[in-house]
Amino acid sequence: MPRRHELLRSLHAARDRTDELFRLVSPDSFYECPIPERHRIIFYVGHLEAFDWNLLNGGTATEMDRLFAFGIDPKVGDVPDDSASDWPTIPQVHDYTGRTRNLIDAKAPSASEQYLHVALEHRLMHAETLAYILHQLPYDRKIAPPEPVEPSAAVPEPRMITIPRGPVKLGMNSGEGFGWDNEFEAYTIEVPAFNIAKYKVTNGEYLAFVRQGAPAPEFWVKRDGEWYWRGMFREIPLPLDWPVYCTYEQARAYANWRGMRLPTEAQWHRAAFSAGDAANGGNYDFRRWDQTPVTEGKPNSYGLMQMIGNGWEWTGSVFSPFPGFAPFPFYPGYSANFFDGDHYVMKGASPRTAACFTRPSFRNWFRPNYPYVYAGFRLVEN
């Protein structure tokens, strides 16, 4: 019972986290669509409660349950053709979410721990999704909290670190704790020795690539000949020592330009976790809205900086099932719908990633040209 009580308490805390995000939106902006390929903000107001209720109830029951049941993952450039008038009014959505929360709270104490974990982590995933969606909302449509701006410093000298040959356990086994279907079952492979960058690639390093004609990342904007970082609540001069956020395609192009490549999922995992390190601090778990310098914090046992936090890291591995994969029967499309060869694995964490997702087995993934996520990369020598 104490474990179930803790899960219920965490679920209510996660609600507070997402409610806080919606309070950042100006009242007249809930029908905006900051990312064209995603739903309007109003969808997410209803979706979080709809998902929890549909999960606990074993399926949809009302028109609103169905309307808010699932998000979308279209290709970049494929945009929904809805209009604001197609959606319920804000009072109607708030009435739905209020009633649905009451239903959830009545049923959740008797739900299985697995269902409670799914509801909790799904909501915390959306706490990050909502953050990068709201990142694209114009500043005058957001209510900004106070946050200090970190000064930029010099770009650190690049350095490669050798990771010795050794085994890597990817995923987890049944009985080892909660995980999503793509985290099972665990298997071990041998990874040859390789050299990996101590730091994530910085804005300063990537700027040299842009000056050679490469397209700028989505989070940059040029004004009067100078580059600026489009932060969550304000623009600032481009911090050269912050990690660059970019697409997989941009990361791969930069690596090719440098005569290097992105690490595989197994290489990244060995560099991050094989020396017995675990996530302990760093820029994740909602501590900040934007990044910090790549030099901030303590190195892991191999001497690598920020393997966890300050930005997800693209790997060169296509998102695919582990041996023994079986979809969740109550959520069969969670992973299986994305085993299409068009999504790539990301590891680590961003400033807006909840701490539970820093477990070694967790896998994130996105399309290679999706420009909005808080993801960077580090290099591996060929």
Whole-angstrom distance, CA of residue 277 vs CA of residue 271: 10
**Spans of all domains in the chain:** 2-141, 160-381
Whole-angstrom distance, CA of residue 287 vs CA of residue 194: 32
User: Per-residue pLDDT averaged across 255-262, rounded?
Assistant: 98
| Tokens 């999922």, residue located | 265
Task: State the pTM of this model.
Answer: 0.95
Give, in order, the Cα–Cα distances in Å from 79 to each of 72, 85, 298: 10, 17, 42
**Residues paired with residue 301 on neighbouring β-strands, in sequence order:** none
Summary mean pLDDT of the chain: 93
Q: Is 77 left (phi over 0), alpha (psi -120 to 50) or beta?
A: left
pLDDT at 245 over 50: yes
pLDDT value for 217? 98
pLDDT, tens digit, for every residue of 161-191? 999 999 999 999 999 999 999 999 999 999 9
User: Per-residue pLDDT averaged across 50-55, rounded?
Assistant: 93
Using 50, 70 and 90 to split pLDDT, how confident is the model at 154?
confident
pLDDT at 281 over 90: no
| Residue 197 main-chain phi, psi, to 5 deg | -70, 140
pLDDT, tens digit, for every residue of 13-28? 999 999 999 999 999 9
Using 50, 70 and 90 to split pLDDT, how confident is the model at 327?
very high
pLDDT, tens digit, for every residue of 286-321? 999 999 999 999 999 999 999 999 999 999 999 999
pLDDT value for 118? 96
CB 323 within 8 Å of CB 186: no
Superfamily of domain 160-381: paralog of FGE (formylglycine-generating enzyme) (3.90.1580.10)
pLDDT value for 142? 95
pLDDT value for 61? 79
The correct CATH number of 2-141 out of 3.90.400, 1.20.120, 1.10.3470, 3.30.200 is: 1.20.120
pLDDT at 1 over 50: no
